[in-house]
């Protein structure tokens, strides 16, 4: 049994979505970020970093969104969401997961929490840099689709698509969202057709972005 500590529309959404796609039993514990519940002593005991998501597996809390997205398909291999160890697709998969986690996620933290990046007096500068970094990733990812690939790694859906899609979703209110890049717009439209993506929006009471 899994327990996901989550807040709607955040990084936990990718894990929530994957759990739904895998069709495994899980329970949800909402974390009220607005009320700073993720900084409470109780929450810090399960994640000293004070972030969502936290996924409790057999009583042990695990953190880091990308890691959670990688470990779940390994625990449920029949879903085929994780390329086989030793294959070229696996190498591309590992590279892509770390690339997304190490470039987009920190840049988004600077975009959404700019005072954290450079102090309260430099919020505009921090957001400018964050925006440039995020758009640079969209440019690179968009060009990958020039080869006609359907998903982020090629012809197969993998956990990398769950991370990439949720990170693209976060750009929806930015000056140049991922969907303004033509190949990414077509990719997002394909991903939006997945019933599990619609389902996670419904379960998190989100209506924006899923319909374009």
Q: Interface with ligand GSH by CB under 6 A: which range of 49-57, 74-82, 88-96, 117-125?
A: 49-57
DSSP 31-86: --TTTTGGGSHHHHHH-TT--S-EEEETTEEEE-HHHHHHHHHHHSGGG--SPPTT
Site string for ligand GSH, 102-131 (x = CB under 6 A): ---x---x----------------------
Q: Round to whole Å and give the CA distance between 104 and 130.
A: 9
Alpha-carbon distance 81 to 162, whole Å?
A: 10
Among 64, 135, 161, 204, binds ligand GSH (CB under 6 A): 64
Ranges assigned E (strand) in 81-125: none
**Distance in Å, CB of 173 to ligand GSH, minimum:** 15
Single out the residue of 68, 158, 140 nearest to residue 103, CA to CA.
140
Query: What is the b/e burial string over 118-152, where b = at least 16 CB atoms within 10 angstroms of the residue's CB?
Result: beeeebeebbebbbebbbebbeebbebbeeeeebb
CB of 95 vs ligand GSH, minimal distance in Å: 17
**For residues 36 and 140, which CB has a smaller minimum distance to ligand GSH in the complex?**
36
107: Cβ contacts below 8 Å, ≥ 6 apart: 130, 133, 134, 137
- Residue 10 touches ligand GSH, criterion: CB under 6 A: yes
* Beta carbons within 10 angstroms of residue 38's beta carbon: 19
Stretch that binds ligand GSH, among 59-67, 78-86, 156-164, 184-192 (CB under 6 A): 59-67
Q: What is the nearest approach in angstroms of ligand GSH to the Cβ of residue 201?
A: 16
Residue number with CB closer to ligand GSH (25 or 34): 34
With CB under 6 A as the contact rule, the residue among 16, 38, 169, 201 that binds ligand GSH is: 38
Smallest separation (angstroms) from ligand GSH to the CB of 178: 16
In the complex, the smallest distance separating the C-beta of residue 204 from ligand GSH, rounded to whole angstroms, is: 13
CB of 94 to ligand GSH, least distance (A): 16
Binding site for ligand GSH (CB under 6 A): 10-11, 33, 38, 51-53, 63-66, 105, 109
């Amino acid at each position: 049994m899994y327990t996901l500590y989550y807040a709607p529309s955040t990084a936990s959404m990718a894990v929530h979505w994957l759990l739904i796609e895998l069709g495994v039993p899980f329970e949800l514990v909402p974390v009220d970020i607005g009320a700073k519940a993720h900084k409470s002593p109780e929450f810090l005991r399960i994640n000293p970093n004070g972030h969502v998501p936290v996924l409790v597996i057999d009583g042990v809390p695990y953190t880091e969104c990308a890691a959670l997205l990688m470990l779940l398909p390994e625990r449920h291999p029949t879903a085929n969401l994780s390329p086989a160890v030793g294959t070229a697709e696996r190498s591309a998969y590992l590279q892509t997961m770390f690339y997304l986690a190490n470039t987009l996620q920190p840049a988004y933290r600077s975009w959404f929490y700019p005072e954290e990046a450079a102090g309260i007096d430099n919020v505009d500068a921090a957001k400018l840099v964050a925006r440039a970094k995020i758009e640079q990733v969209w440019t690179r990812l968009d060009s990958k689709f020039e080869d006609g690939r359907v998903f982020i790694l090629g012809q197969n859906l993998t956990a990398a698509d769950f991370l990439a899609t949720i990170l693209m979703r976060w750009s929806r209110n930015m000056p140049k969202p991922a969907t303004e890049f033509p190949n990414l717009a077509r990719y997002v439209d394909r991903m939006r057709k997945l019933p599990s993506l619609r389902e996670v929006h419904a379960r998190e009471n989100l209506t924006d972005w899923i319909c374009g």
